[in-house]
Amino acid sequence: MFSVLSQISKRQEYMTPVEQRIATFILENPRKVINMPVKDIATNSNTSDAAIVRFAKRVGLAGIKELKVELAKELHTLEKENISRVIDLERDNHKDIFDKVFKNTIQALYNTEKIVSRDVMKEAAHLILQAGNTFIYGVGDSANVGQDMEQKLHRVNVNAFFTADKYLCFTRLSNAAENDVLFVITLSGKTKEVIEVVKKAKSLGIKTVILTQNHASIAKRHSDLAIEITEEETNIQYMNMTSRIAQLVICDVLFFYVCRELGTSAYDNIIKTYDATH
């Protein structure tokens, strides 16, 4: 189930004043919006019909009709399940924790599927395949995702070099060739080290792809391509569990996009790697 309310709430602080008025009206009147004509939504939010349509696309949907459908499904599910997504370690029993972790993760993947741009991912895969070297940079929880991506690319003989060290990344970028690519994996895009690395790449004219859940980050603005995933954490933000899984899934898709461009040689290399390690 795509969570319209969650996507609106998470993105609201990055919206324009017009978008914020629409967001506020929908968040405060979700049931009314389902049956309201576009003109009435525009009137109540002091905006326009066109602004309402653009807003629906802003949160990852095709238009206002799809927004209403997804909103109706979400409200029905919330009533039916009546389960909080917040994990309370003092009150929740083992079953509660199990259910909430799975529901939060499934929700994050469903939302990411809706908002991520397939075209941007295809373009990112093409850049990686055409690059002489792909430098992967990620810190914190994103570091494990970066290492996993490096290993996947090695299986198909793509030159990939992961690091979580800013200074090593600077060194690699300083010695990079014209067609090399920087792939940054980050949750917020606001981390000082991430911003410095992305700006360094930009100053050197190196193409940069960023995988982030922050839709208005400084790092994103300095990147050539931005793959945006959903921001889903609730009270366990510091653990970044669902975001990490969403990152891994997107990297898996990106890897298979690369394999598709490589063709049969990708399968041959994967088989050789498997045979060599088993």
Q: Could you tell me the mean pLDDT of each successive run of 10 residues in the chain, 278 residues long?
A: 79 88 93 92 94 89 89 76 71 88 82 86 95 94 93 92 96 94 86 91 94 72 87 54 87 94 75 60
Q: Is this model's pTM higher than 0.85 or not?
A: no
pLDDT at residue 238 in the model: 44
Largest Cα span, the chain: 65
pLDDT at 84: 64
Q: What is the pLDDT of residue 88?
A: 80
187 Cβ partners below 8 Å, 6+ apart?
Answer: 140, 141, 142, 212, 213, 214, 240, 243
Q: Report how far residue 170's alpha carbon sits from residue 173's, in angstroms, rounded to the nearest whole number.
A: 5
Return the percentage of the chain with pLDDT > 70, whole number.
87
Closest C-alpha among 194, 176, 177, 193 to residue 185: 194
